[in-house]
Chain A
Amino acid sequence: MIVQFELNGRLTTSDTNPGTTLLEYLRSSEIYSVKHGCDHGECGACTILINNKAHNACLILMHQVAGKKIETLESFSTHEHLHPSQKAFLDGGAAQCGYCTPGMLMSIEALNREDQSATEEDVRDTLSANLCRCTGYVKPVEAALKVLAASNDAEGLS
Chain B
Amino acid sequence: MKVIGKDTRRVDGQALVRGKALFSDDVKIKDLLHVKILHSPVAHAHIQNIDTKKAEALNGVIRVYTYKDFTPHYYTTAGQGYPEPSPRDTLILDSTVRYVGDRVAFVAAETLEIAEQALDLIEVEYEELPCVFDAEKAMSAGFAIHKSDGPTGIHDAANNIAAHLDAELGDVEKALSNSSAVFEGTYTTPFVQMASIEPHISITWLDEHNRLVVRTATQVPFHVRRILAEILDIPIARIRVIKPRIGGGFGGKQEILNEELVATVTLSTGRPARIEYTREEELYAARLRHPERLSYRLGFDDNQLLTAIDVNILENCGAYGPHALTVMSVTAQKALSLYKAPHIRVIGNGVYTNLPIGGAYRGYGAPQALFPLESLMDEAANEMGIDPIDLRLKNLFEVGDDIPIAKILGEGREGYPMVLYSTEIRACLHEGRRLSNWDHLREQKQTGRYRRGIGVAVAGQGSGIPGIDMGSAFIKMNEDASFNLQIGATDLGTGSDTALAQIAAEVLNVTVDKIIVYSSDTDMTPFDTGAYASSTIYISGSAVKKAAENCKEMILEQGKKLLGVEHAEIIDTRVVAPNGKNISYEDICTKTFYTDEQMQIMGTASHLSYDSPPPFNASFIELEVDTLSGIVRVIKVVSVTDTGQVINPKMAEGQVEGAIPQALGMALTEFMPFDEKGRMLNLDFNSYHIYTARDMPELVVRFVKSNEPTGPYGAKAVAEIPINAPAPAVANAVYNAVGVRIRHLPIRPDMILDGLVS
Contact = CB atoms under 8 A, between A and B. Distances in A.
Interface string A78-99: 0000100011011111011111
A101 B696 CA distance: 18
Contact of A38 (B20, B660, B685, B694): B685
Contacts of A43: 197, 279, 685
A146 interface: no
Contacts of A33: 18-20
Interface residues of A, number: 54
Interface in B565-619: none
Majority secondary structure of chain A interface residues (helix, strand, loop or mixed): loop
A97 B246 contact: yes
A19 B335 CA distance: 53
A141 to B, nearest CB: 6
Interface string A27-69: 1001011111111101101000000000000000000000000
A133 B22 contact: no
A70 interface: no
B13 interface: yes
A136 interface: yes
Contacts of A95: 10, 13, 16-17
A110 interface: no
A93 B690 contact: no
A137 interface: yes
Contacts of B690: 131, 133
Contacts of A101: 16-17, 19
Interface in B676-710: 684-686, 690-696, 699, 701
A99 B197 contact: yes
A37 B248 CA distance: 12
B21 A30 contact: yes
Interface string B252-279: 0000000000000000000000001011
Contact of A133 (B21, B195, B696): B195
A15 interface: no
B658 interface: yes
B9 A90 contact: yes
Nearest to B698: A138
A133 B196 contact: yes
A40 B683 CA distance: 11
A131 B685 contact: yes
Contacts of A73: 18-19
Contacts of A125: 693-694
Contacts of B701: 138
Interface size class on chain B is 35 or more
Nearest to B664: A136
A77 interface: yes
Nearest to B23: A99
B657 A133 contact: no
Contact of A136 (B17, B199, B650, B661): B661
Contacts of A82: 14, 17-18
Nearest to B685: A42
Interface stretch (B88-96, B120-128, B163-171, B487-495): B487-495
A29 B16 CA distance: 19
A67 to B, nearest CB: 25
Interface string B652-674: 01100111111000000000000
Nearest to A106: B19
Given A124-B693, A133-B662, A97 B17 contact: no
Contacts of A72: 19
Nearest to A91: B9
A147 interface: no
B684 A40 contact: yes
A98 B657 contact: no
A34 B19 CA distance: 8
B658 A134 contact: yes
Query: Which 10 interchain pairs have the tightest Cβ spacing?
Result: A97-B493, A33-B19, A99-B247, A98-B16, A136-B657, A93-B650, A127-B693, A42-B685, A73-B19, A32-B26
15 contacts: A35-B23, A37-B199, A40-B686, A43-B685, A82-B17, A97-B246, A97-B494, A125-B693, A128-B694, A132-B693, A135-B658, A137-B692, A138-B657, A139-B654, A140-B693
Given A45-B198, A128-B694, 20 more contacts: A27-B25, A40-B685, A42-B684, A43-B685, A82-B14, A82-B18, A86-B18, A90-B9, A90-B10, A95-B13, A96-B494, A98-B247, A99-B196, A127-B692, A127-B693, A131-B195, A133-B194, A133-B195, A134-B493, A137-B692
